[in-house]
């Protein structure tokens, strides 16, 4: 099995395996809901997309373009976390050893994985297209249905971006440095730069000055054509704002007629060039890929050992490769192979301090916090420190909110293992047989996660204390309790990290600005504080902790 036949069979087998997962259904449902919410009814309390304070008439080009913008702004982020595990799974399940014994080349293997990733994301895009057709039939404000005008912007805007996301997922898995948590952080930074800084921010700030060009996100052509159409119809582009999900606040929003972009052949050809460009990333990913060759893996390990001999590190990083797998206060170590997210960590023993054999909440929480930080390199700490400082030191409120969101996303992969670390490292029998695994050890894990969130929000907390805003400090503390409880509950219930890796980026994305007060779990907006939203998230944290405790009790009874 070689050539195109090998690529096809690899892609098909991987695609069929992944569409049966619960995480795929979660992302499918969330993106379908997002597409539905972008076309609200005429009497809704918000507008899906407004430009200079106006929205377009619900016709086929408008609905198709808005759904396409939704895909590139949402699915491009959570899609990466959905598909970035196919190569790592072959390492963990030893399927890679079978692949290594076949004549499949490195390029054929990564091409098959890329096509599988793209097929998974394209299937979600297909469902969104069906949602767009339904919304056009239900909420359309013009009689005629233009299917090409509806479907073309969805696929021409979205498919090239999803192809690059699928290619980056493969590339990151073939580079050992980017295979774990550092890769998730790098992609998040890259996504925010491409979406917020390069594409969306300039077009939303001054949409009337945008000229059509072949940008990566594919929205400049549509935005500039909307601005031209509004100007021709007598609308003032200097008034109002361009925004997504803007509340109406009881006001009637003016409508303008937009007939859509003529995609063929110019703009469509540019989008196809971006689609073809993703193939270069696939070819590039074949270069560092070791093809599951133990010899290449061994040479890499020897070079790493020569550069950083075990036990020779000093300073604050001396402990990070000597943390037990789970269950603080034990001398047990896992001898098995590490999982996909922390494959490079060499877990050994750590000598606990002189405490009671029964342990206490504070001591175990400290050890659990060290477990959360285990394996993070110097660059991770540097990025964390930078985001903490900037979230409190910048003068712009919007920029502080942005860096606070970055700071709270930075340890996402550490939180994602909460509640499932025991299963991940096959240490359940050891941890669950310890004293009070539900009453003491589980709350200690939650407390460690909440402390990590407070540490990442230390810059903002210090600024709020200096400026005399104790209410917002309480809001941040409530958010820390909620994020930790969410990670713990999802980890225990699903017995894995994938659910949190999908749900949490969506929360970060929706609650980035704090404008949607019901999603302002960090307490950024003063209105959310006045509405008592932190109390709501505290109540949700308590409920999630109860759910996690019940799930852990069942796990303990099952060992």
Angle among Cα 163, 169, 171 to the nearest 5 degrees reads: 100
Distance, in Å, from the CA atom of 340 to the CA atom of 323, rounded to the nearest integer, reads 17
Q: What's the first-to-final CA gap in the chain, in angstroms?
A: 43
Structure tokens at 152: 């073309």
Other Cβ atoms less than 10 A from the Cβ of 46: the count is: 16
pLDDT of residue 314: 41
The answer to whether residues 553 and 432 touch, using CB atoms and an 8 Å cutoff, is no
Other Cβ atoms less than 10 A from the Cβ of 320: the count is: 18
pLDDT digits (tens, 9 = 90+) for 206-225: 776 777 777 888 888 888 88
DSSP 176-214: GGGSSHHHHHHHHHHHHIIIIIIIIHHHHH-GGG-----
pLDDT digits (tens, 9 = 90+) for 424-472: 777 877 877 777 888 888 899 999 999 999 999 999 999 988 888 888 8
Confidence of residue 498 (pLDDT cuts 50, 70, 90): confident
The answer to whether residues 278 and 160 touch, using CB atoms and an 8 Å cutoff, is yes
Distance, in Å, from the CA atom of 481 to the CA atom of 446, rounded to the nearest integer, reads 8
Average pLDDT of the residues of the chain: 79
Residues listed for the chain: 559
Q: Which helix (H) or strand (E) holds 245?
A: strand 243-247
Distance, in Å, from the CA atom of 330 to the CA atom of 324, rounded to the nearest integer, reads 8
pLDDT of residue 515: 59
CB-based burial of residue 250 (10 Å sphere; 0-12 exposed, 13-18 middle, 19+ buried)? exposed
pLDDT digits (tens, 9 = 90+) for 541-559: 999 999 999 988 888 887 6
Structure tokens at 28: 């499918």
Residue 230 has pLDDT above 60, yes or no: yes
Least reliable range by pLDDT among 178-187, 282-291, 410-419, 524-533: 178-187
pLDDT of residue 417: 86
Structure tokens at 341: 């997210």
Q: Which helix (H) or strand (E) holds 527?
A: helix 526-530
Q: Which SS3 state, helix, strand or coil, does residue 126 take? A: helix
pLDDT digits (tens, 9 = 90+) for 84-115: 888 888 887 788 788 878 888 888 899 999 99
pLDDT digits (tens, 9 = 90+) for 169-186: 999 988 887 877 667 777
Handedness of CA 327, 331, 334, 338 (dihedral sign): positive
Q: Which SS3 state, helix, strand or coil, does residue 256 take? A: strand
Residue 494 has pLDDT above 80, yes or no: yes
Note the pTM of the prediction, 2 decimals: 0.72
Alpha helix ranges (H) inside 38-146 = 60-70, 76-83, 86-92, 95-100, 106-139
The answer to whether residues 523 and 476 touch, using CB atoms and an 8 Å cutoff, is yes
Other Cβ atoms less than 10 A from the Cβ of 299: the count is: 12
Distance, in Å, from the CA atom of 47 to the CA atom of 516, rounded to the nearest integer, reads 13
Confidence of residue 488 (pLDDT cuts 50, 70, 90): very high
Distance, in Å, from the CA atom of 218 to the CA atom of 68, rounded to the nearest integer, reads 9
Produce one character per residue of 444-474: b if its CB has 16 or more CB atoms within 10 Å, e if not.
Answer: bbbbbbbbbbbbbbbbbbbbbeeeebeebbb
């Amino acid at each position: 099995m070689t050539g195109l036949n090998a690529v096809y069979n690899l892609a098909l087998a991987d695609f069929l395996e992944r569409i049966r997962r619960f995480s795929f259904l979660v992302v499918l449902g969330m993106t379908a809901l997002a597409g539905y919410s972008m076309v609200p009814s005429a009497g809704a309390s918000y507008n899906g997309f407004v430009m200079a304070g106006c929205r377009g008439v619900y016709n086929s080009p408008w609905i198709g373009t808005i759904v396409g913008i939704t895909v590139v702004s949402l699915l491009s982020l959570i899609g990466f976390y959905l598909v970035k595990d196919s190569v790592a799974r072959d390492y963990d399940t030893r399927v890679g050893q079978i692949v290594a014994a076949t004549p499949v080349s490195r390029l054929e293997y990564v091409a098959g994985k890329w096509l599988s990733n793209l097929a998974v994301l394209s299937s979600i895009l297909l469902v969104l297209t069906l949602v767009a057709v339904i919304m056009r039939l239900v909420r359309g404000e013009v009689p005629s249905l233009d299917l090409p005008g509806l479907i073309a912007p969805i696929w021409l805007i979205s498919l090239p971006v999803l192809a690059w996301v699928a290619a980056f997922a493969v590339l990151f898995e073939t580079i050992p440095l980017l295979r774990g948590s550092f890769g998730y952080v790098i992609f998040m930074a890259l996504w925010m730069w491409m979406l917020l800084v390069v594409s969306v921010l300039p077009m939303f700030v001054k949409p009337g000055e945008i000229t059509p060009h072949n940008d990566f996100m594919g929205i400049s052509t549509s935005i500039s054509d909307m601005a031209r159409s509004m100007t021709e119809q007598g609308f003032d582009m200097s008034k109002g704002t361009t925004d997504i999900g803007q509340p109406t606040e009881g006001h009637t929003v003016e409508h303008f007629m937009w007939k859509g972009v003529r995609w063929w052949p110019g703009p469509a050809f540019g989008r196809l060039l971006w689609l073809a460009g993703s193939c270069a990333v696939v070819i590039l990913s074949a270069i560092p890929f070791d093809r599951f060759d133990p010899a290449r893996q061994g040479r890499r390990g020897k070079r790493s050992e020569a550069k950083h001999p075990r036990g020779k590190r000093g300073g604050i990083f001396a402990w990070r490769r000597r943390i037990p797998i789970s269950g603080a206060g034990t001398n047990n170590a896992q001898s098995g192979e590490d999982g996909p997210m922390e494959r490079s960590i060499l877990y050994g023993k750590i000598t606990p301090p002189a405490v009671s054999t029964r342990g206490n909440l504070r001591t175990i929480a400290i050890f659990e916090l060290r477990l959360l930080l285990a394996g993070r390199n110097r660059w991770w700490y540097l990025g964390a420190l930078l985001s903490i400082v900037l979230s409190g030191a910048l003068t712009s409120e919007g920029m502080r909110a942005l860096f606070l969101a970055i700071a709270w996303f930075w340890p996402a992969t550490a939180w994602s293992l909460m509640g499932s670390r025991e299963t991940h490292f096959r240490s359940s029998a050891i941890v669950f047989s310890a004293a009070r695994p539900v009453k003491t050890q589980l709350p200690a894990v939650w407390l460690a996660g909440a402390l990590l969130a407070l540490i990442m929000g230390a810059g903002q907390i210090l600024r709020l204390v200096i400026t005399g805003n104790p209410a917002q400090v309480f809001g941040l503390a409530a958010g820390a309790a909620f994020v930790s409880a969410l990670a713990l509950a999802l980890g225990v219930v699903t017995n894995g990290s994938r659910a949190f890796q999908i749900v949490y980026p969506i929360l970060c994305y929706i609650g980035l600005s704090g404008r949607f007060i019901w999603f302002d779990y960090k307490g950024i907006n003063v209105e959310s504080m006045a509405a008592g939203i932190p109390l709501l998230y505290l109540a949700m944290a308590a409920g999630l902790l109860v759910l996690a405790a019940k799930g852990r009790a069942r796990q303990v009874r099952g060992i």
